[in-house]
Amino acid sequence: MLICTGKLGAALAAVLLSLTGVQHATAADSQTTGSALTVSAQNSAAQARTSIQKAAAFLIKVQQPDGAFVPSQAPVGMDALVLRSLVSAPGIDASGPAIKKGYEKLLSFQLESGGIYKDSLANYNTAIAISALAAADKPEYRPAIDKAVAYLKGLQWTDAIAGPKGEKIDPNSAWYGGWGYGGMSRGAGRPDLSNVQMTLDALHDSGLKSDDPAYQAALKFISRLQNSSETNDQPWAGDDGGFIYGPSANGKGESFAGEYTDANGKRMLRSYGSMTYAGLKSMIYAGLTKDDPRVKAAWIWIRNNWTLDENPGIKASDPANAQYGLYYYYYTLARAMRVYGEPIITDAQGVRHDWRVELVVKLASLQREDGSWAGDKRWMEDNPVLTTSYALSALSDSVASLESK
C-alpha cells in the first residue's frame, strides 16, 4: 500500500476513518467496558490501520537524505526503532527506497566486533538494531544479525566473563544474568530490566531458542527484580507480583516508582507498569509458561493495576510523574500482551477490558494531525520520532493480535 503524506495523507486518513465507522460503532458492535468503548475486532483493526498510515507517513516524511530518521547526534537505536516499526506495520510497503536506504544507514554502523552503535550505549543500540534487521526478514541481513547476537551474548553479566577489573560475577549477585547499556568488559556499569527486555527482544527476534544459556542466566536476573518474595531472594522483595527497574550500584534495587518503609520498618520498592510488562514478556521468552508462579504473580499485578491513562505505579512517589514513560509503557504492554496471548484483562473491579481495542482507541485519541505522537520530556518522549515509533509498534501488535486466528 502506498503511503500518502501531507494534506493528501490527512484527507485520506479522514475518509478512511469515516468509512470504517469506528467513530460511531453500533450497539450490536460495542459495549462499554471501563472508560473505553469496545468495538468489534474488525472495526478496531480498521481504526488502527488508519492511525498506522498516518504515523508511517510522518516517519517517512522526516527521513533525512542520508537515510537516517534522526539527527546524527542521536543514538543509532532510534533509527532502528523507526525501521522496526515501519516494516512491522500492516499495510505499509516495506520494499520502498526509503526503507532500503534506512537499513543501509543502520548497517553502516556495524563494527568489526558485531556491535551496531556509535560512541556509547553499545548494548541498547545493538539490541534494537537486531530487532529491526530481523523484522525486515531478508536473508542478506542474516550474517549481520548473527554477528550482532554473538556480540550481545558476550556483554551479558555472567561468570563466564570477567568484569572491568578482571573480577568474575558471582551467580548470587543481583547483577548476574543482566545487561546494561554497554557491557561490563567495556566498563558500562550496572544492568537493568529495560536493557534486558530490549536484549531479549533481539535474541527472540533473531530466532534464538529459549533453552539457550543466555535466556536462563537472564531469568535469574529478571526473577530478582520481581516483587514476589517466594521466588525472589532479594531483601526488598514484596508480594504484589510487579517489577522494578533494576539493582542499584550497591545491589539494593531501584525503582522509578520510588520506595517506602513497611509497618515492620523494612525498605520496599514499588512496582510499576512498563517494567512489569517487560518482566512478563521476558519470562515468557525465557520459556516460562502461564502456570509458573512468577508469571501468575505478574498477571495478578497487571489485572490489579490496569489503566491506559498513565504508566501505572509510577506516580506513587509523586503524582506529577504519572505520564513518565507513557509511550514506552504502551510499546511494552502491546508486545507483552501479544506474546502472553490473552486479549482480555479483567481488572480488580471485575470489569473486562480488551486491551487491543482500548489501546487502539487511546492511541487514536492522542495522535496529532501530522500523524505523530509526543509525550512528556522525561526519557525523551517529547521527541515525536521516538514516540511515534513506540506508538506505531504498539498499534501493529494490537492489529496482529486482533487479526490472529
Are the C-beta atoms of residues 330 and 278 closer than 8 Å to each other? no
Q: What does pTM read for this prediction?
A: 0.88
CB 344 within 8 Å of CB 353: yes
Whole-number pLDDT of residue 268: 94
- The whole-angstrom separation of Cα 169 and Cα 167 is 7
The single-letter DSSP state of residue 156 is S
DSSP 33-101: ETTEEE--HHHHHHHHHHHHHHHHHHHHHT--TTS-SS-TTS-HHHHHHHHHHHHHSTT--TTSHHHHH
Cell of 219: 531469568
H-only helix segments in 184-290: 193-206, 213-223, 273-285
Domains of the chain, first to last: 6-402 (1.50.10.20)
Q: C-alpha grid cell for residue 162?
A: 570477567
CA–CA distance, 258 with 278 (Å, rounded to integer): 18
What's the confidence (pLDDT) of residue 256? 93
Question: Pick from 26, 83, 23: which is nearest to 50 by CA?
Answer: 23
Cell representation of residue 265: 520498618
DSSP structure class, residue 259: E
What's the confidence (pLDDT) of residue 166? 58
Contact 107, 143 (CB under 8 A): no
Integer angstrom CA distances of residue 199 from 53, 205, 324 = 28, 10, 22
Cβ pair 285, 204 in contact under 8 A:
yes
Q: In the prediction, which pLDDT does 27 show? A: 28
Could you give the CA distance from residue 89 to residue 400 in angstroms, rounded to a whole number?
A: 9
What pLDDT score was predicted for residue 164?
Answer: 54
Q: What is the pLDDT along the chain (405 residues), one digit of tens a residue?
A: 333 333 333 333 333 333 233 333 332 333 434 444 344 778 888 899 999 999 999 999 999 999 999 988 888 999 999 999 999 999 998 888 999 999 999 999 999 999 999 988 899 999 999 999 999 999 999 999 999 999 999 899 887 765 555 567 888 889 999 998 875 444 357 899 999 999 999 999 999 999 999 999 999 999 999 999 999 999 999 999 999 999 977 768 999 999 999 988 999 999 999 999 999 999 999 999 999 999 999 999 999 999 999 999 999 888 888 899 999 999 999 999 999 999 999 999 999 999 999 999 999 999 999 999 998 888 889 999 999 999 999 999 999 999 886
pLDDT of residue 9: 38
| Cβ atoms of 390 and 329 closer than 8 Å | no
Instruction: With H, G, I as helix, E, B as strand and everything else as coil, classify residue 226.
Output: strand
Q: Measured between alpha carbons, how far is 99 from 64 in angstroms, rounded to an integer?
A: 12
Per residue in 366-383, pLDDT (tens digit) is 999 999 999 888 888 999
Task: Encode pLDDT of 292-309 as tens digits.
Answer: 999 999 999 999 999 999
- In this prediction, residue 363 carries a pLDDT of 97
Report which of 335, 323, 339 is spatially closest to residue 389, judged by C-alpha positions. Answer: 335
Interatomic CA distance for residues 15 and 81, integer angstroms: 29
